[in-house]
Amino acid sequence: MDKKKKKVMLTPCPSYDIAGTEGWLEEMAGAGWLLCKDSIFGIWATFEPRDPGDTRPVRYRLDPAGEATGWIFGSSRPDGEKAEGYREMGWEYVTFHGEFYLYRTFDPEAVELNTDPAVQALALKKVGSQMKGQLFSLIFWLVVYPLMGLGGFLLTTALLLGTPFFAVFTLSFLLSVYCNLRGIIHLRKVRRQLRAGEPLRAAVRSRGKVRRYRAVWAADLLLTAVWAVMAVGYWKADLDGDFTHLLAGYVEEIDVPTLAALDVDGEPAYYEWTTAPRGTVEIHSDWLLGTVYSTEETGAATLSDGRVFHGGLYVDYIEASSPWIARTVAREYVRYDRWKNRWTLFRQESDWKELPLPDLGVDYAVAYTDIFPTVVLAKGDKAVKFYFYDTNGSVDYVEMAEIYAEALKNG
């Protein structure tokens, strides 16, 4: 056949719609088009024209593969012995389609592949189990596993990555779950029909059902593509350092206390740097949730009262869009650190230990050791988490907590 005469079409229904798929292929054969060998890729199918003089009736039948199909699974073709048996019955293998192998015959006298509805129902039960396994894997790898890795750090992660990123991912995931559930429910109805002794008959889907199926498929493809582009864009921006800036250029613009705020008497902490400090701020802003400023400072400083600080200060300062978000993010920080200590494999025992705090006049306050002293506070629509180390032991966590509590109350 001339390759130029071949045409590619969208399938009108999913592979598990056995009657719809068989009916469509037989309708195409009646219109003069035969499905090419190994030619269904997802929703795309390639056809070639029949010889004008070929008027033989054509039947297509889907047969449960009983295993994952596709080149990546090493099962793009059925077992040789089974295929040979079908060939002797007058059926030729054409291609795999979803969880099925597709056969075709031009012989009107060829015996049907599935003559016993009860046996066919049992074969479809395995297909249903495969689809349930796919649904479980989808939920585990896209929801359970990430949540385990994040330790419930969901809202804060959404704040860092952005609401659009999470919204597109959520819609894509829900649509995939919907499609999988539709398949499981459909096969359950088909099996019930077969167990009642009623065989499947090829039937052409209505235009409305075809449009809905293709619209859902297009939406799923679009959401997946958009999410992938956003993920790559975020990764590239992070790799290029688009979110990270020198802290010196932002000290006047943000309300995040820095090492210079260590003077608890309220006077500016004018001190001489004994080593060159390193200070950066990473900024993530989301139109729905708020803004996160993550600062890192290391250096040595002589404070106004003579104490010498030598170490580092690491701060996440959140300007949330609502008090509820601020408190929720603060709780997520604590929950994540506690969970992280519990499930770290390389630690003989947890580094987590809760520390006492005085009344700081804020809505939420927790202090603990997570290798280093760590404090999490929330007041109104603002929250902060910081941890630090001071090799000289000049500053303790309570002193730092009071500084940040005042910053939250005055911010």
pLDDT tens readout for residues 148-193: 766 567 788 888 788 899 899 999 999 999 999 999 999 999 999 9
Same domain for 270 and 204, yes or no, is no
Q: Quick count: other Cβ atoms within 10 Å of Cβ 137? A: 10
Query: In the chain, which residues have pLDDT < 50?
Result: 1, 71-74, 266-274, 276, 345, 348
Same domain for 172 and 313, yes or no, is no
**pLDDT at residue number 5:** 84
How far apart, in whole angstroms, are the C-alpha atoms of residue 342 and residue 339?
5
How far apart, in whole angstroms, are the C-alpha atoms of residue 183 and residue 124?
12
Provide the domain limits for residue 128: 117-239
Q: Phi/psi at 210 (nearest 5 deg)?
A: -65, -45
Residue 344 lies inside a defined structural domain of this protein: yes
Last residue of a domain, one of 191, 221, 239: 239
Q: What are 81's two structure tokens?
A: 């012995």
Helix (H, G, I), strand (E, B) or coil at 219: helix
Residue 298 lies inside a defined structural domain of this protein: yes
Same domain for 195 and 121, yes or no, is yes
**pLDDT at residue number 287:** 84
Contact assessment for residue 217 and residue 43, using Cβ atoms and an 8 Å cutoff = yes
Residue 389 lies inside a defined structural domain of this protein: yes
Residue among 241, 275, 242 at smallest CA distance from 259: 275
Provide the CATH number for the domain around residue 364: 3.40.1000
Half-sphere exposure of residue 266: CA atoms within 13 angstroms, side-chain side: 2
Same domain for 141 and 219, yes or no, is yes
Residue 179 lies inside a defined structural domain of this protein: yes
The residues, ordered by sequence, that sit 6+ positions from 306 with a Cβ below 8 Å of its Cβ are: none
Same domain for 293 and 377, yes or no, is yes
Residue 111 lies inside a defined structural domain of this protein: no
Same domain for 157 and 225, yes or no, is yes
How far apart, in whole angstroms, are the C-alpha atoms of residue 25 and residue 250?
65
Last residue of a domain, one of 58, 79, 105: 105
Last residue of a domain, one of 57, 77, 105: 105
The residues, ordered by sequence, that sit 6+ positions from 355 with a Cβ below 8 Å of its Cβ are: 367, 368, 369, 373, 397
How far apart, in whole angstroms, are the C-alpha atoms of residue 100 and residue 120?
13
Same domain for 203 and 248, yes or no, is no
Same domain for 307 and 278, yes or no, is yes
Beta bridge partners of 354: 368
Model's pTM, two decimal places?
Answer: 0.76
Same domain for 57 and 205, yes or no, is no
SS in 3 state form for 333-362? HHHHHHHHHHHCCCCCCCCEEEECCCCCCC
Q: What are 156's two structure tokens?
A: 């804060």
Residue 112 lies inside a defined structural domain of this protein: no
Q: Count structural domains, the chain.
A: 3
Same domain for 301 and 390, yes or no, is yes
Does residue 70 come out as left (phi exceeding 0), alpha (psi in the -120 to 50 range) or beta?
A: left
Helix (H, G, I), strand (E, B) or coil at 162: coil
Cα–Cα distance list, 324 to 222, 263, 317, 319, 328 (Å) = 33, 31, 15, 12, 6
**pLDDT at residue number 274:** 47
The residues, ordered by sequence, that sit 6+ positions from 156 with a Cβ below 8 Å of its Cβ are: 292, 329, 332, 333, 336
Q: What are 347's two structure tokens?
A: 């630690």
Same domain for 8 and 68, yes or no, is yes
Residue 249 lies inside a defined structural domain of this protein: yes
Same domain for 218 and 250, yes or no, is no
| DSSP state letters, 376-402 | EEEETTEEEEEEEEETT--S-HHHHHH
Residue 217 lies inside a defined structural domain of this protein: yes
